[in-house]
Amino acid sequence: MECFLEIKELCKSFVSNGRYITVLDKISFNLHENDFLCVLGPSGCGKSTLLRCIAGYEKINSGKIILEGNELTKPGTDRMMVFQDFNQLFPWLTVEKNIDYPLKINYPKLSKIQRKELTSYYLELVNLDNFKDFYPHQLSGGMKQRVVIVRALSLHPKLLLMDEPFGSLDALTRYKLQKELLKIYEHTGVTIIFVTHNIDEAIILSSKIVVLSQHPAKIIDIITNDIEQPRLPGTPQYGELWNRLNLLMGLDKSIEESAALTREEVI
């Protein structure tokens, strides 16, 4: 059976100070439609680079990224990206126009009224219909990210790529937005790749987890996460998975050891 998304032996390196630094080392995995994949790894390990390669922002050195049989090389509306940065809405457009504008570009046949209906449908999905005439700078960080998510969804992407979208939010808002994202995921059935360094976030959201190592990033493990929703930290399965992921990420290495590692990086 043909896979929905296939990543084959993907390698990516950067040139820095005249030498090659390998960031991604032979990354391979497959994804089915309607999967919710969390890419978990320590900060700076190259998770974002992996996502940017899939989005088409970075040229890959070798390997293949194949979506529904087509090899991907440049950005497109079939893969919509959601960044961590709160300022990814266009500040000169109102919330409504921020969603309307991409629709206008990509679906020129839609009438103004049809676009208006679609826009309010998506804003209602994240309970922001009352804020449609606001400018982005008048919204909170969490509200902005919700608008960005529905702006991405409105173009019906095959893949929703999320680069630590809730990383700069406070714990409470983050929790709320995770719930909201799960609701949207169930509602639309969109396939998601979600990058995070937060173990809890990965457990709560994912149907599949890819764990990456550091320098260069290699896949340590691919885990299917089939804990029943709602996933509560108190349950044994949750704890079991948490311990497993924690061990894989090597977070409990002694401080001396990681300090030595950091020194090595500097040298």
Partner 1 sequence: MVNKRLKLNRTIFIVMLLAIWEITAHSHIFPELLFPSLESILSALIHELEKGTIVLQTYNSIEMILEGMIIGDILAIIISVWAMISRRINEYVTTLVSIMDPLPGIALLPLAILWFGTGRNSIIFIIIHSVLWPMILNTVTGFKTIPKIYLEVGSNIGLKKIKIITNIMIPSALPSLLTGLQVGWSRAWRALISAEMIFGATGKESGLGWYIFEKRFMLDMPGVFAGLFIIVAIGFIVETVLFEIIEESTIKKWGMTN
The residues that touch partner 1, with contacts defined as CB under 8 A, are 55, 57, 75-77, 79-81, 83, 85, 87-88, 90-92, 101-102, 105-106, 135-138, 155
- The tokens describing 151, both together, are 């702006």
Shortest Cβ distance from residue 148 to partner 1 (Å)?
9
Shortest Cβ distance from residue 132 to partner 1 (Å)?
16
Q: Which is nearer to partner 1, 194 or 208 (CB)?
A: 194
Residue 150 near residue 99, CB atoms below 8 Å: yes
Q: Which is nearer to partner 1, 5 or 211 (CB)?
A: 5
Q: Which is nearer to partner 1, 55 or 245 (CB)?
A: 55
Per-residue burial over 142-157, b if 16 or more Cβ lie within 10 Å, else e, is bbbbbbbbbbbbbbeb
- The tokens describing 244, both together, are 């497993």
Closest CA to 204 of 6, 19, 38, 17: 38
Residue 23 to residue 217: CA distance in whole angstroms: 6
Q: Which is nearer to partner 1, 135 or 242 (CB)?
A: 135
Closest CA to 86 of 160, 154, 155, 170: 170
Shortest Cβ distance from residue 52 to partner 1 (Å)?
9
Helix, strand, coil fractions of the chain, as percent rounded to 5 = 40, 25, 35
Q: Which is nearer to partner 1, 35 or 78 (CB)?
A: 78
Closest CA to 229 of 238, 221, 240: 238
Q: Which is nearer to partner 1, 62 or 140 (CB)?
A: 140
Shortest Cβ distance from residue 165 to partner 1 (Å)?
13
Planar angle of CA 115, 120, 126, nearest 5 degrees: 135
Shortest Cβ distance from residue 267 to partner 1 (Å)?
30
Shortest Cβ distance from residue 89 to partner 1 (Å)?
8
